Chains A and B, each alone.
Chain A
């Protein structure tokens, strides 16, 4: 079969929320890796027909926030040999490489596992620009999915210096240059300003949106607003992607609210918001509680804001973050091994093993808060499924999360295993809402595609990438979603019933925004003064991308 042959997915129950198709029996036609309108010429016969009668057809899943490649993910792999010998192994076959699993799977294992679960696109959420080349190298070894990454810039010296000097034009050009130089997808802020303070003093951090960052004399609020505005002016397909200050701290919900306000109406995506929705006094576990209700009210009322959840699942995992001071904090809480690395001019990093226990009040609250978020945001187009893999748990938990959302009895059964105080501190028990399949298709496909500005993904209309997942319906939605009947990537059948049938490398999605190139002289002067590598050796050229796919600006 060649790519120019026709494939027909026949008579499946189709969920295509972008086109308002909510469980209708349809045929889907594929050619040259794309979805096409059914041919009007009746002489055209498909060379392969997939009988999908009785099966559910959706666009391929999109993970818009995970950690799957690049420097810190690879450090975490190296750091955790102890969790890999037990449990599932992934031997090589005649068509696939071997890999290792654990909380941070190897590159091949990552690609195969996403594909086997019906996910065909994933974005790494935190790449330091200096490590961009590394991330691209790993992407080439991460098969079966299209991928891209967000570029850390919330503690970038040039960003802070432009804000300090009140030079928004330079900031805008810098962001354009940085995204183009790294072949990245979107600007990412991680604890804006806080990581720089961490680099400069013991246990350093900012405490809120208006703390001045030493030396640069800017505040997190200025960084958030400035980058959001620049992203809007650059017309980036995905706006600023924000990991707020004070992650994990009791009482941090106010910081989160202030962050959303600091956007001043610009589009902004608040990521793993579960970790940022806590009430209670600083360091006082006894007052720790959910503040999803007031935050969700704000999100519901402000359409410029989108979120992903960062769901926590019970079990062992690895925390990894560009938030250096958070890594330090977590390592002190859990007492395990701790990795921290500061990248010159750009960013930080923290990694430590972590175990979420349902007997812990804090952990079970985190679990409940995540689910509250899915259930309390009214518009499913603005909330996206994520575990912040592997921080809250593995991406492999998505089928279980779907079951939590579609089955209130199941989630209440789990809630009953948690400490009873949780009922006073979270509203989860009282929420009756259950997701429909259409809503699941939104928060796992159509929604993230829209938020990311991916016009060819997340839907099944003509011209879309033929990334399609076919599920066998089952009363237990975890079973339904964990092993799709067929997964099609770029028009090729790559998985059948959990078995890999074919592999491909996948595209790298990145942006190439227009920016004022005259500013490059100024950037170069700054760069050459402080960086430890040469200016010419910094940008990642296209040769590092197996297949480049530029997503146009808006």
Chain B
């Protein structure tokens, strides 16, 4: 089938030499998904990206048309048809096919990827498993009290960042959502808010904070449980707290006083929690602390998600399978087990025997054992640019860039879905197109007649 929403927002071709302006374009570089960008396009090149941050500008200005073949098979240029055929053969001939990535694809393409996995009885996982996967597991344990980013802008008077460095990872976070906006209940903007940063190093975000708390590395769990205890009024040994967290006890009691006294507190947390010792236990402590704080005031938490549509990937995989990431279909129906069906594991444990990567680069971002195994199995890679992963792939597709060349839908880090307004067409197929072609062939090979 063809998804309805892929039919729209096709970019109009550029007229040589003429300027074209795209209003309210959406930047998909990071999870902020700013949808207020004004793009100026000339000769299939974005020459200006108004309101975009430094990362957004780099994203828009550097994605011009890649002068590379749309398809490479075994390192040699090939026709798309040949690539599609070969891809379908690879995916249907393995016993343990894995599909991974998806956080830089629109939802429409993600849906096709999940369909393919369903037909081939494969395992689907997204880059969530190596960013906020542990937070997803923590959420399954204790839940989450959260809100949309506009609520933060309109109500948040105590803004905390924990293990997150938005000054470098989400540059417009402060101005657009969390610190600077003059909100409905915060008419003076920044002056009406207090900002607290907790991290193991004094990052560039510290400049934006009123209070910086530098904790010992790998002691997030202890620090968060200190706050949980203080929220519940449990007595603690100040010396022990200082020894374990690296921070004076009075700093924690002062912070808890502020947390209780604020009207609407927010904790944005990053991979400083999920990637370090404790992982999901850290995220769980933070989510539980947020929940506890609702006995005193209103308090919410939100992971600062990285990639443009990683949140969409969580949503699509969830609505189609019931689970957010790390989903295995070998029995014909979805099963979930992080640590087993997640890609770092299926590769490092040498279980996967073929695969497909979409908009991700495991050959550069995974552990050495995982990379070695990936390089040893046949796999397909889709990416807008050449990466170590596309170089190692049996079939590599150069695809059009979402939000620049193709339309579709992305979910901001707070689960708000936003449409894309592409700037100019690409000669390369979109990942939606490539995946749809592969799906058709997979269905023929497997005798699937689903319409």
Contacts and interface: CB of A to CB of B under 8 A. Distances in A.
The reply to whether A and B meet directly (CB within 8 Å) is yes
Interface in A36-92: 69, 71, 74-75, 77-82, 84-85, 89-92
A199 B151 contact: yes
Contacts, number: 221
Interface string A120-146: 000000000011011001101100000
Given A74-B318, A79-B139, A200-B155, A537 B145 contact: no
B220 to A, nearest CB: 21
B246 interface: no
A4 interface: no
A342 B151 contact: yes
A107 B317 CA distance: 11
A131 B8 contact: no
A338 B143 CA distance: 5
A98 B319 contact: no
Nearest to A108: B320
A197 to B, nearest CB: 11
B300 interface: yes
Given A99-B333, A342-B300, A344-B151, A94 B447 contact: yes
A537 B139 contact: no
A89 B335 CA distance: 10
B147 A342 contact: yes
A503 B450 contact: yes
Contacts of B321: 98-100, 106
Interface string B423-451: 00000000000000000000000111111
A340 B146 contact: yes
B8 A92 contact: no
A417 interface: no
B250 interface: no
Interface residues of B, number: 79
A82 B323 CA distance: 10
Interface stretch (A8-16, A379-387, A527-535): A527-535
Interface stretch (B42-50, B160-168, B289-297): B289-297
Nearest to B443: A94
A106 B320 contact: yes
Interface stretch (A254-262, A308-316, A540-548): A540-548
Interface in B20-39: 23-24, 26, 35-36
Between A106, A344, A503, the greatest number of chain B beta carbons within 10 A of the residue's beta carbon is seen for A344
A447 to B, nearest CB: 30
A78 B323 CA distance: 5
Contacts of A543: 4-5, 7-9
Between A137, A345, A532, the greatest number of chain B beta carbons within 10 A of the residue's beta carbon is seen for A532
Interface in A120-176: 130-131, 133-134, 137-138, 140-141, 157
A287 B155 CA distance: 39
A321 to B, nearest CB: 14
A101 to B, nearest CB: 8
Contacts of B5: 137, 140, 543-544
Between A106, A157, A331, A530, the greatest number of chain B beta carbons within 10 A of the residue's beta carbon is seen for A106
Contacts of A531: 150
A533 B418 contact: yes
A456 B412 CA distance: 38
B148 A130 contact: yes
A98 B296 CA distance: 44
Contacts of B449: 94-95
A69 B319 CA distance: 8
Interface string A19-49: 0000000000000000000000000000000
Interface in B154-195: 154-155, 176-177, 183-185
Contacts of A131: 415-417
A78 B314 contact: yes
A3 to B, nearest CB: 14
A475 B318 CA distance: 40
Contacts of B139: 78-79, 339
B307 interface: no
Nearest to A533: B35
Contact of A536 (B23, B154, B314, B412): B23
B94 interface: no
A182 to B, nearest CB: 12
Contacts of B315: 74, 134
Interface in A489-548: 503-505, 530-534, 536-537, 541, 543-546
A202 B145 contact: no
Contacts of A352: 143
A494 to B, nearest CB: 12
B136 interface: yes
A339 B450 contact: no
B322 A341 contact: no
A89 B333 contact: yes
A345 B143 CA distance: 23
B320 A199 contact: no
B322 A134 contact: no
Nearest to B144: A339
Given A78-B314, A99-B322, A530-B183, 11 more contacts: A91-B331, A100-B321, A100-B322, A131-B417, A137-B5, A140-B3, A141-B320, A200-B264, A339-B145, A341-B144, A341-B146
16 contacts: A77-B318, A89-B331, A92-B333, A98-B332, A100-B322, A137-B417, A202-B298, A336-B143, A340-B144, A341-B144, A503-B450, A530-B153, A534-B36, A543-B4, A543-B7, A543-B8
Interface of B: 1, 3-5, 7-9, 23-24, 26, 35-36, 107, 111, 115, 118-119, 121, 136, 139-151, 153-155, 176-177, 183-185, 263-264, 291, 294-298, 300, 314-315, 318-324, 329, 331-336, 409, 411-412, 415-419, 446-451
